[in-house]
Structure 1
């Protein structure tokens, strides 16, 4: 039962994250920090986003494998397989429901997406069955090397991504700034107050982060 809960949390977390990506795309008020970073690097080489997404994700996966291979697991595979599909489905659905969204609706979609992205991250972090390569970097810094609490490590990695994107002609939006500053703390809050109690339900476990 406990293992089933972990797998369910990982699947729900990754799928919810993909749905939120679709909402952010529809809101069109700024991309997430990692997308900002990848786009900036692609601009340096006058290449495409998809090409450098594969290259940079591959590099990060190799780094994670060397430093803390524990973070590569079933959720990493689910992330690769379902995030894009979930994002496309959500974007297509919103195109039907809101073909020409007002600014108020776009702001609402952005804020809802950011909050639920943090909840999604908390779910699959806590399931501890692997995370995306980018997510693993802040987790390694926080839990393996104890550099800073996770929320601050995430703010630093997100901010670096945003700065790189900005330096290489990526247009930033309010969604980018809000995500960079608040995703770490909000994810940590959801992890402590919702995801961990949901998983343990009175059972004491030792985290393997």
Structure 2
């Protein structure tokens, strides 16, 4: 019985289509996150927190992301097993390492040094706009493949069930602000200073969620048409 339930949860309808979509989305999120890191105008709240905590303790983003998500996954396992799927593990394990890998490539290719030159501000703005647009698109695609929720994203859903009278978007904003606060606190004792832009990450915390929802609705209506 348990095995049958797990099979239905992990191998959902249209799995053969959804799985490669999910994998490509995770790859895209890691690549575009690496560009956001290089531009240094801000990242999503989870990445801002993980980057600053990782830097404070001398870890790579990938390693810290695996450790942090492991703790969050325990809560998902206890309180929201229905949110767990293949996408949970791919997001948990892969995005940080993909971002680390491509950041190393950008440095070797000279993109990092190029973007840090003051006269290349316009290029940083262009790449930031490009990266944030496609980060949102790939995030929306990942979520709408419906093969599991990342441990970080599962926690506000769990909290929302506990305090259902509070609108979810308020819970999500407060949750993301807490993540940014943790990143800020870690940066205060970091000799290397803050990793990324605090203001940019706050703006993204307030905007990425609604934009992902809008893009996701459009994609479900026009692209990800899964008739259950």
> Do the two structures share a fold, i.e. TM-score over 0.5?
yes
Count how many residue pairs are aligned between Structure 1 and Structure 2: 201
Among candidates 126, 130, 134, match of residue 112 of structure 1? 130
Query: How has the CA–CA distance of structure 1 residues 152 and 10 changed in structure 2, closer, same or farther, with 3 Å as cutoff?
Result: farther
Q: How does 1:52-67 map to 2 (within 5 A)?
A: 53-67=65-79
Give 1:153-164 correspondences, 5 Å limit.
Answer: 153-164=171-182
**Taking structure 1 as reference, are residues 125 and 196 closer, same or farther at Cα in structure 2, changes over 3 Å only?**
farther
Which segment is superposed worse, 8-17 or 138-147? Answer: 138-147
Query: What TM-score does the superposition give when structure 1 sets the normalisation length?
Result: 0.78
Give the Cα–Cα distance (whole angstroms) in 2 for the partners of residues 12 and 146 of structure 1.
34
| 2:114 is the counterpart of 1:100 | yes
Instruction: Tell me, in whole angstroms, the C-alpha distance in 1 between the residues paired with 2:25 and 2:160.
Output: 21
Gaps of at least 5 residues in structure 2 are 1-12
Structure 2 vs 1, CA of residues 144 and 38 (structure 1 numbering), >3 Å: closer, same or farther?
A: same
Please provide the CA RMSD for this pair: 3.0
Decide which of 64, 78, 85 is 1:73's aligned counterpart.
Answer: 85
Larger Rg over CA atoms: 2
Q: Distance in 2 between matches of 1:54 and 1:84?
A: 8
Please say which of residues 5-14 and 140-149 is displaced more in the overlay: 140-149
Select the residue among 211, 220, 225 that pairs with 1:186: 211
The match for 1:6 is 18
Please, which runs of 5 or more residues in structure 1 have no aligned partner? none
- Decide which moves more: 100-109 or 14-23: 100-109
Indicate if the aligned counterparts of 1:18 and 1:83 stay in contact, CA closer than 8 A: yes
Counterparts of 1:1-209 in structure 2 under 5 Å? 2-38=14-50, 47-50=57-60, 53-95=65-107, 96=109, 98=111, 99-101=113-115, 102-141=120-159, 146=164, 150-168=168-186, 169=188, 171=194, 173=197, 174-195=199-220, 197-200=222-225, 203=227, 205=228
Q: Is the 8 A contact 2:91 2:150 kept in 1?
A: yes
